[in-house]
C-alpha cells in the first residue's frame, strides 16, 4: 500500500504503515450528543468514512471505532435547562445523530461505545496515572500533572510555558499547575445524582479526554494506527488524550488526522455563533447523496464555506455523474455486462488511486470520475456498448469508494418508492409508445402534445440516435 497521510503530530505527510500487517485500527472522536447535528458536525464522520473505505479498498481489515460522548457539562446544562433527565437528552440526540449518519450513507463503525458504558475503564486509567505519579486527587477531583510528563504539548507543537491555564475547571488555586486538566470531576451540589459514579476518590464523572483515551484503549489496545477528529479538537482535547495514554505507558495513536471546518459566513459553524445549517434542514433542500458529495468532494483538510450556491453546484455536478451511471446501466445493465466489469471488481483508475493515496485528495479523485464520465458519455453517443460497460464499471467502482455510487442500495429507494418507480417507468413508457404511434401516423400535433404534457410533469423527453430517452428534471 502506498498511502500517505498528513500526520498532524509530525506536521508532515508520512507513509502509512499499519502497526499490524493487513489491518488498520482507527479511532475517531464522535459527537457530544447535546443537540441536533449540523453539517459541520457530520463532516468529520463523512471524511473518515471515506478514509475507512479507502483503507478497506486497499485490502486492509479495518477496525473503526467512533464513540458517543453521552455525559458532559454541556449535556448536563442543556438537559437541566430543558427540564429533562440528562440521559434522556443524550439518548434523544444520539438518535438524531445516528439518523444523520445513516441518511448520509456513513457506514456504521465496528464499535460505537458510549462513554457512560466505560466508566470502569476510565477509573482504571486514572488509577494507573495516579500510581505512575502523573495524576493527583484533590477533594474528589483528579488532575493530570502536566509538568510530570515531558511530552505534553508535542502533538500541537506548543511549549508548556506558553500554554494558557486549563479551562475545564473553575478553581485553579488547588492545582499544582494552572495547566493541569481534570481527568475526573467530583460530583457537585446541584448536579443530578445519576451523573456520578463511585471511585476511590469519591463520586464524580469523567473529563472528556479521559473518555476517549479509555474507549480507544478498550477496543484498539494500547497502540493503534490512526486517530481522527475535527481540527478544533487538536488542543486541548487530543493533546490531553495523548498525554494521558502515553503517561500511562500506552503508545496510543501513531498517526493523527484532522479535518477542516465547515464555515458559514466565514466563521466556523457553531451553535454558539448561531450560524448553523442542520443536517435535517439541508436534506430538505438537496438529496442526502448530494449533500454527501458536497462535503466529500473537497480535500478533507480544506475549509468548506457553506453557501446555498455551492451546495446547488455540487448537486448539479453529482447529477451529471448520476445521469451517466443510470443511462449507461439502462443500456448495458448494472452488473457484469459485455466486456465490462461489475463495480465491485473493476480495476480502479490509476489516477484515482494516486489521488486518494496522496493524503486522501478527494478533490482530485472526483475530477478523475468526471473525466471518466465525459468519456462514458461519448461512448454512449457512439453506441459503443463494450466501452460503456467498461467505463460504467470504472465510474461505479470509484464512486463506491467515495460512498456515492447512485446504484448502491443506500441511494436507490426501497419498498413503496421502488414500486412507484416501476409504475412511473411503465406509465412513461406507455405515453412514449403512444407518442411513437402518433408520429408513425404523422400526427405530429398529438405527438408534441404528449411530449409537452410529460414535460409539464417533469419528464424530459429526448430523441437520440439510440432511440427516445427520458429523465426526470
Contacting residues toward Zn ion, per CB under 5 A: 29, 212
- CA dist 435 and 221 (Å) reads 67
Q: Which residues of 158-173 are buried (b: 16+ CB within 10 A; e: fewer)?
A: eeeeebeebebbeeee
State in angstroms the smallest separation of the CB of 245 from Zn ion. 11
Nearer to Zn ion, 29 or 368 (CB): 29
Nearer to Zn ion, 218 or 435 (CB): 218
**Which has the closest alpha carbon to 216: 225, 207, 205?**
225
List, as one string, the DSSP characters of 140-169: TEEEE-GGG-TTTTTTTT--GGGSPPPSS-
Query: What value, to the nearest 5°, has the Cα angle with vertex 168 and ends 164 and 170?
Result: 95
Nearer to Zn ion, 212 or 380 (CB): 212
Quick one: residue 274, left, alpha or beta (phi over 0 = left, psi -120 to 50 = alpha)? left
Nearer to Zn ion, 105 or 228 (CB): 228
**Distance set, CA 335 to CA 128, 182, 360, 404, 471 (Å):** 55, 56, 28, 17, 21
State in angstroms the smallest separation of the CB of 416 from Zn ion. 40
State in angstroms the smallest separation of the CB of 136 from Zn ion. 23
State in angstroms the smallest separation of the CB of 46 from Zn ion. 17
Nearer to Zn ion, 46 or 277 (CB): 46
Nearer to Zn ion, 242 or 372 (CB): 242
- CA dist 460 and 64 (Å) reads 44
- CA dist 73 and 326 (Å) reads 49
- CA dist 457 and 138 (Å) reads 71
SS (H, E, C) 188-254: CCCCCHHHCECCCCCCEEECHHHHHHHHHHHHHCCEEEEEEEEHHHHHHHHHHHHHHHHHCCCCEEE
State in angstroms the smallest separation of the CB of 241 from Zn ion. 6
Nearer to Zn ion, 29 or 135 (CB): 29
- CA dist 104 and 47 (Å) reads 11
State in angstroms the smallest separation of the CB of 227 from Zn ion. 8
State in angstroms the smallest separation of the CB of 236 from Zn ion. 11
Phi–psi pair at 52, nearest 5 degrees: -65, -45
- CA dist 306 and 103 (Å) reads 19
**4-7 and 12-15 beta bridge pairing:** antiparallel
State in angstroms the smallest separation of the CB of 237 from Zn ion. 6
**23-28 and 61-66 beta bridge pairing:** parallel
Query: What value, to the nearest 5°, has the Cα angle with vertex 425 and ends 420 and 429?
Result: 145
Nearer to Zn ion, 148 or 240 (CB): 240
Question: Do 251 and 25 contact (CB within 8 A), yes or no?
Answer: no
Nearer to Zn ion, 241 or 290 (CB): 241
State in angstroms the smallest separation of the CB of 206 from Zn ion. 12
Nearer to Zn ion, 31 or 196 (CB): 31
State in angstroms the smallest separation of the CB of 37 from Zn ion. 16
For the CA atoms of 127, 132, 136, 141, what is the dihedral angle to 10 degrees?
-30
- CA dist 114 and 216 (Å) reads 12
State in angstroms the smallest separation of the CB of 331 from Zn ion. 48
Nearest residue to Zn ion, scored by beta-carbon proximity: 212
- CA dist 293 and 93 (Å) reads 25
Nearer to Zn ion, 183 or 399 (CB): 183
Amino acid at each position: 500500500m502506498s498511502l500517505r497521510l498528513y500526520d498532524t503530530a509530525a506536521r508532515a505527510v508520512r507513509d502509512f504503515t499499519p502497526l499490524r500487517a493487513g489491518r488498520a485500527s482507527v479511532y475517531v472522536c464522535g459527537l457530544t450528543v447535546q443537540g441536533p447535528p449540523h453539517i459541520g458536525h457530520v463532516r468529520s464522520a463523512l471524511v473518515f468514512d471515506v478514509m475507512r473505505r479507502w483503507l478497506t479498498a486497499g485490502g486492509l481489515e479495518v477496525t473503526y471505532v467512533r464513540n458517543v460522548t453521552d455525559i458532559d457539562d454541556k449535556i448536563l446544562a442543556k438537559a437541566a435547562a430543558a427540564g429533562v433527565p440528562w440521559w434522556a437528552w443524550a439518548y434523544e440526540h444520539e438518535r438524531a445523530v445516528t439518523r444523520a449518519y445513516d441518511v448520509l450513507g456513513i457506514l456504521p463503525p465496528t464499535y460505537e461505545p458510549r462513554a457512560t458504558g466505560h466508566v470502569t475503564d476510565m477509573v482504571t486509567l486514572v488509577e494507573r496515572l495516579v500510581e505512575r505519579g502523573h495524576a493527583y486527587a484533590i477533594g474528589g477531583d483528579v488532575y493530570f500533572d502536566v509538568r510530570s510528563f515531558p511530552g505534553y504539548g508535542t502533538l500541537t507543537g506548543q511549549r508548556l510555558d506558553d500554554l494558557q491555564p486549563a479551562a475545564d475547571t473553575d478553581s485553579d488555586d488547588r492545582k499544582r499547575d494552572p495547566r493541569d486538566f481534570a481527568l475526573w470531576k467530583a460530583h457537585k451540589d446541584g448536579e443530578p445524582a445519576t451523573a456520578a459514579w463511585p471511585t476511590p476518590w469519591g463520586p464524580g464523572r469523567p473529563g472528556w479526554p479521559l473518555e476517549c483515551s479509555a474507549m480507544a484503549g478498550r477496543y484498539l489496545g494500547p497502540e493503534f494506527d490512526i486517530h481522527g477528529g475535527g481540527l478544533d479538537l487538536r488542543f486541548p482535547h487530543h493533546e490531553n488524550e495523548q498525554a494521558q495514554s502515553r503517561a500511562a505507558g500506552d503508545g496510543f495513536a501513531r498517526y493523527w488526522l484532522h479535518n477542516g471546518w465547515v464555515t458559514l459566513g466565514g466563521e466556523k459553524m457553531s451553535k454558539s455563533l448561531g450560524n448553523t445549517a442542520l443536517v435535517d434542514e439541508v436534506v430538505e433542500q438537496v438529496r442526502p447523496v448530494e449533500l454527501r458529495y458536497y462535503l466529500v468532494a473537497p480535500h478533507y483538510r480544506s475549509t468548506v464555506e457553506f453557501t446555498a450556491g455551492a451546495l446547488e453546484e455540487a448537486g448539479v455536478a453529482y447529477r451529471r455523474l448520476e445521469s451517466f451511471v443510470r443511462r449507461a446501466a439502462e443500456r448495458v445493465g448494472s452488473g457484469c455486462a459485455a466486456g465490462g466489469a461489475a463495480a465491485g471488481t473493476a480495476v480502479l483508475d490509476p489516477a484515482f488511486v494516486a489521488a486518494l493515496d496522496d493524503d486522501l485528495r478527494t478533490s482530485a479523485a472526483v475530477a478523475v470520475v468526471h473525466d471518466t464520465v465525459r468519456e462514458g458519455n461519448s461512448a454512449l453517443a457512439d453506441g459503443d456498448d463494450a466501452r460503456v460497460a467498461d467505463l460504467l464499471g470504472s465510474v461505479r467502482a470509484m464512486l463506491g469508494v467515495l460512498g456515492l455510487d447512485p446504484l448502491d442500495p443506500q441511494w436507490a429507494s426501497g419498498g413503496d418508492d421502488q414500486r412507484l418507480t416501476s409504475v412511473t417507468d411503465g406509465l412513461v413508457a406507455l405515453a412514449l409508445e403512444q407518442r411513437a404511434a402518433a408520429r408513425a401516423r404523422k400526427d405530429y400535433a398529438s405527438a408534441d402534445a404528449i411530449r409537452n404534457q410529460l414535460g409539464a410533469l417533469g419528464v424530459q423527453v429526448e430523441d437520440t440516435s439510440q432511440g427516445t430517452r427520458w429523465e426526470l428534471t
